[in-house]
């Protein structure tokens, strides 16, 4: 099938003697003649044996710091936004509000929600009484292990059964030594008379905000039930305790659990005197601690990835990332953090290896002020402070040699996920179309996890299949329904692999075929706005913001050079993979439409594989070189540049006597800031996020192994 708009960026391995131009011509020619029958057959086999199910694993209710009840959140996510699976989470520690009730602020309009369900705050001390609060004395607050097991779990179970969606209860744990981790233990949650005891036990033992030493309800969490583990006091910077929690999960709940750091780059680098930040060595520590087989770094782990694309996408600082924290890389890049979507220097240093100094921090602040000054909302970014330990600062820049690639370059099966981090709509009520804070789970970001054999209903088999799919790496994450289906397959002859799998290659065998088939859905996504996308208007492209069009897909590859061990200096300093490169770019008109899917393929000579490597993929609606959005290579720029993009569809102020702000889908919302340098409203908040869409697919691993390749071929040909 012709792929004249597929461009290739150079050699498949670093040792080639051919010029990049010759290879581009040779690969382009082979792309036109690729035999995709094996890949198509494998994709059809995957479709017949399972499905990619959509879900969300990080969100909040009134049990902690959200504004809607457990039941409201599950119903909205599964029934309104149609998620196939939903892990309801929330922080550990304790809370004062009864999460069977909503606690929302009235917005400016569409207040039927408040009229129907009320807007009163219900507290545990009033609903169950102080005598109903278990554990050590905690004022009017209920320990989270109790609200999880006795109140949140029954609502999650009931809502899942009614919607026939796969729902379970997890935690966004306050991690000893760090910030937050999304975790869950399926345990007995799907039994008819089930329970979330195991999840409550994890919270009691390991959450750094849980200071209850009562042992739980009638000492149910004490040593015998803990498999001999005793709870220890929480202290700042206790990374070792978080590693022990992963080891505990691996030992007692490996099949049913996961441990995935949330908004992992939001707080910058780790410092031992606080509970903030993650460094690359901590991800390596968790992955190692969770490995099913300690000697196989390329095997499955309980800690198999991270939230490299945060929620809070509708805030003025996407992800709530900002200079003032300071966030690693200083912000998001196309809505994703620098650890997965940009390049960073080791903590406390610049890219030239020199240390961060007060003078450099001052220079950074001057740069950001010069680049983004004139926008009154820029003040919310804060300044980069020089009052914190120097190792806290992580410098970032656009590029593809990411920290994630450093982990993949070791051969680690460490994967990329997105989540909503739902709390509230910001200045508005939960059902209003505007948002200055969060999207509902399923409204903007979705995880597509392959569930082999799962039927999508409320049952343990489907839940385990979803967790297995995430752990295997056969998943991808999407913003704004940019795509709704994806096949990414590589084959040598009849032997094929998809995302998360390993293709064993015989370098003297048949060519390797890569195959991409995806669905770019027609019609509108969930965006409430209908005006033309302001980011694309910069290029004179008139595309409605709620009807996005995939512009290009990059296939990115990197070498696998083997594991780095804790006693090696690189364990803490290696934050990139210098071999990572854009191998191929598929422009929109480089796809061929086949049976409702966009299809592209190519062929690589087997002899060009001289080392192990991985291939991952990203796609966007932003053309390469879009001002204020992407650089010439298509890498996302830091998202603060969006405040230079005019939103040229003015909102008409209401009658001053009524002063009621009404929703107009054709107009830029009234709360967008005016950038003095631009001279008009500019995109920000939800408009910025609906304008700039991406998807990220987890990698296919390729191992040069003639013996394994021959065995796989023999099995495939039986």
Q: Identify the pLDDT of residue 381.
A: 63
Q: Residue 551 pLDDT more than 90?
A: yes
Q: Residue 6 pLDDT more than 70?
A: no
Q: Residue 113 pLDDT more than 60?
A: no
Residues 426-464, buried b or exposed e (16+ Cβ, 10 A)? bebbbbbbbbbbbbbbbbbbbbbbbbeebebebbbebbb
Share of the chain above pLDDT 70, in %: 90
Q: Residue 157 pLDDT more than 90?
A: yes
Q: Identify the pLDDT of residue 385.
A: 78
Give the confidence band of 11 by pLDDT, cuts at 50, 70, 90.
very low
| Per-residue pLDDT tens over the stretch 114-123 | 334 445 689 9
Average pLDDT over residues 194-209: 95
Give the confidence band of 225 by pLDDT, cuts at 50, 70, 90.
low
Q: Identify the pLDDT of residue 25.
A: 32
Location of structure tokens 């803490």: 572
Q: Residue 343 pLDDT more than 80?
A: yes
Top pLDDT among 280 and 18 is at 280
Q: Identify the pLDDT of residue 658.
A: 66
Residues in CB range of 88: below 8 A, 6 or more apart: 59, 61, 70, 73, 74, 152, 156, 167, 168, 169, 170
Which of 256-270, 359-373, 616-630 is predicted with the least confidence, judged by mean pLDDT?
A: 359-373
Residues 289-321, buried b or exposed e (16+ Cβ, 10 A)? bbbeeeeebbebbbbbbbbbbbbbbbbbbbbbb
Q: Identify the pLDDT of residue 380.
A: 55
Q: How far apart are CA 382 and CA 89, in angstroms?
A: 29
Average pLDDT over residues 466-487: 98
Q: Identify the pLDDT of residue 28.
A: 39
Q: Identify the pLDDT of residue 390.
A: 84
Q: Identify the pLDDT of residue 654.
A: 78
Average pLDDT over residues 52-72: 96
Location of structure tokens 């744990």: 173
Q: How far apart are CA 215 and CA 213, in angstroms?
A: 6
Q: Identify the pLDDT of residue 223.
A: 54
Which of 10-14, 62-66, 145-149, 593-597 is predicted with the least confidence, judged by mean pLDDT?
A: 10-14
Q: Identify the pLDDT of residue 706.
A: 87
Question: At 183, phi and psi to the nearest 5?
Answer: -145, 165
Q: Residue 128 pLDDT more than 90?
A: yes
Tell me how many degrees the CA angle 586-589-595 measures, rounded to the nearest 5.
95
Q: Identify the pLDDT of residue 655.
A: 75
Q: Residue 514 pLDDT more than 50?
A: yes
581 and 10 Cβ atoms separated by less than 8 Å: yes
Tell me how many degrees the CA angle 673-322-259 measures, rounded to the nearest 5.
125
Give the confidence band of 552 by pLDDT, cuts at 50, 70, 90.
very high
Tell me the two tokens of residue 433: 């179309």
Mean pLDDT (the chain) is 90
DSSP string, 57-84: --B--TTTT-SS-HHHHHHIIIIIS--S
Q: Identify the pLDDT of residue 662.
A: 85
Question: At 339, phi and psi to the nearest 5?
Answer: -65, -25
Q: Identify the pLDDT of residue 475.
A: 98
Residues in CB range of 621: below 8 A, 6 or more apart: 482, 533, 536, 543, 548, 549, 550, 551, 692, 693
pTM: 0.94
Q: Residue 1 pLDDT more than 90?
A: no
586 and 3 Cβ atoms separated by less than 8 Å: yes
229 and 205 Cβ atoms separated by less than 8 Å: yes
Top pLDDT among 226 and 43 is at 43
Average pLDDT over residues 159-169: 96
| Per-residue pLDDT tens over the stretch 422-462 | 999 999 999 999 999 999 999 999 999 999 998 889 999 99
Residues 356-367, buried b or exposed e (16+ Cβ, 10 A)? beeebbeebbee
Average pLDDT over residues 268-286: 95
Q: Identify the pLDDT of residue 454.
A: 83
Q: Residue 111 pLDDT more than 70?
A: no
| Per-residue pLDDT tens over the stretch 378-402 | 555 667 877 778 889 999 999 999 9
């Amino acid at each position: 099938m012709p792929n004249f708009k597929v461009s290739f960026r150079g050699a498949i391995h670093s040792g080639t003697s051919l010029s990049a131009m010759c290879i581009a011509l040779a690969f382009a020619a082979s792309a036109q003649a690729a035999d995709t029958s094996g890949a198509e057959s494998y994709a059809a086999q995957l479709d017949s044996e399972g499905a990619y199910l959509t879900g969300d694993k990080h969100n909040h209710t009134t049990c902690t710091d959200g504004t809607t009840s457990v039941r409201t959140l599950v119903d909205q996510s599964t029934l309104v936004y149609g998620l196939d699976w939903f892990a309801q989470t929330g922080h550990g520690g304790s809370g004062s509000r009864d999460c069977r009730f909503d606690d929302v602020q009235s917005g400016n309009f569409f207040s039927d929600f408040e009229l129907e369900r009320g807007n009163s705050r219900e507290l545990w001390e009033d609903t169950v009484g102080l005598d109903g609060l278990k554990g050590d004395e905690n004022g009017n607050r209920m320990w989270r292990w109790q609200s999880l097991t006795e109140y949140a779990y029954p609502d999650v179970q009931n809502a899942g059964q009614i919607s026939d969606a796969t729902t379970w209860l997890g935690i966004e744990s306050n991690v000893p030594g760090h910030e937050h981790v999304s975790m869950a233990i399926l345990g007995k949650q799907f039994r008819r008379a089930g329970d979330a005891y195991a999840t409550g036990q994890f919270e009691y033992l390991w959450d750094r905000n849980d200071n209850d030493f009562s042992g739980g309800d009638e000492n149910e969490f004490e040593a015998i039930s803990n498999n001999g583990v005793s709870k220890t006091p929480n202290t700042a910077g206790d990374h070792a305790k978080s590693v022990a929690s992963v080891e505990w999960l691996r030992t007692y709940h490996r099949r049913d659990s996961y441990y995935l750091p949330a908004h992992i780059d939001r707080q910058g680098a780790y410092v031992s005197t606080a509970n903030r930040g993650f460094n690359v060595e901590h991800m390596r520590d968790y992955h190692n601690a969770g490995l099913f087989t300690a000697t196989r770094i390329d095997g499955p782990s309980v800690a198999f990835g991270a939230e490299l694309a945060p929620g809070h996408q509708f805030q003025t600082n996407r992800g709530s990332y900002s200079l003032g924290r300071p966030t690693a890389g200083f912000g998001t890049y196309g809505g994703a953090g620098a650890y997965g979507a940009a390049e960073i220097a080791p903590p406390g240093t610049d890219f030239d290896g020199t240390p961060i100094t007060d003078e450099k921090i001052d220079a950074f602040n001057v740069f950001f002020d010069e680049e983004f000054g004139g926008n009154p909302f820029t003040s919310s970014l804060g300044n980069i402070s020089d009052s914190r330990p120097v190792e806290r600062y992580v410098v970032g820049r656009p590029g593809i040699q990411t920290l994630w690639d450093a982990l993949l370059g070791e051969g680690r099966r460490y994967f990329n996920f997105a989540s909503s981090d739902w709390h509230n709509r910001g200045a508005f009520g939960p059902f209003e179309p505007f948002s200055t804070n969060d999207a509902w789970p399923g409204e903007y970001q979705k995880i597509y996890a392959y569930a082999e054999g799962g039927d999508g209903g409320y049952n343990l088999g489907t839940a385990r299949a979803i967790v297995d799919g995430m752990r295997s790496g056969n998943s991808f994450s999407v913003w704004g329904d940019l795509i709704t289906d994806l096949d990414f397959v590589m084959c040598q002859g009849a032997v094929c692999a998809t995302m998360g799998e390993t293709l064993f290659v015989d370098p003297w065998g048949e060519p390797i075929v890569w195959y991409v088939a995806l669905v770019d859905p027609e019609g509108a996504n969930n965006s409430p706005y209908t005006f033309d996308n302001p980011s694309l208007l910069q290029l004179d492209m008139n595309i409605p913001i709620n009807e996005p069009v995939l512009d290009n897909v990059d296939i990115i590859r990197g070498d696998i050079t083997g594991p780095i061990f804790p006693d090696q200096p690189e364990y803490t300093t290696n934050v990139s993979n210098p071999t990572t490169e854009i191998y191929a770019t598929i422009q929109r008109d480089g796809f061929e439409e086949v049976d409702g899917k966009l299809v592209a393929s190519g062929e690589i000579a087997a002899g060009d594989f001289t080392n192990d490597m991985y291939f991952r993929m990203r796609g966007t609606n932003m053309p390469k070189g879009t001002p204020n959005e992407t650089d010439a290579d298509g890498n996302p720029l830091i998202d603060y540049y969006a405040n230079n993009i005019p939103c040229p569809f003015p909102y008409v102020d209401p009658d001053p006597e009524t002063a009621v702000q009404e929703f107009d889908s054709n107009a830029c919302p009234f709360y967008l800031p005016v950038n003095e340098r631009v001279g008009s409203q500019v995109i920000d908040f939800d408009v910025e996020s609906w304008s700039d869409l991406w998807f990220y697919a987890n990698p296919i691993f390729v191992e040069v192994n003639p013996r394994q390749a021959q065995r796989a071929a023999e099995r495939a040909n039986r």
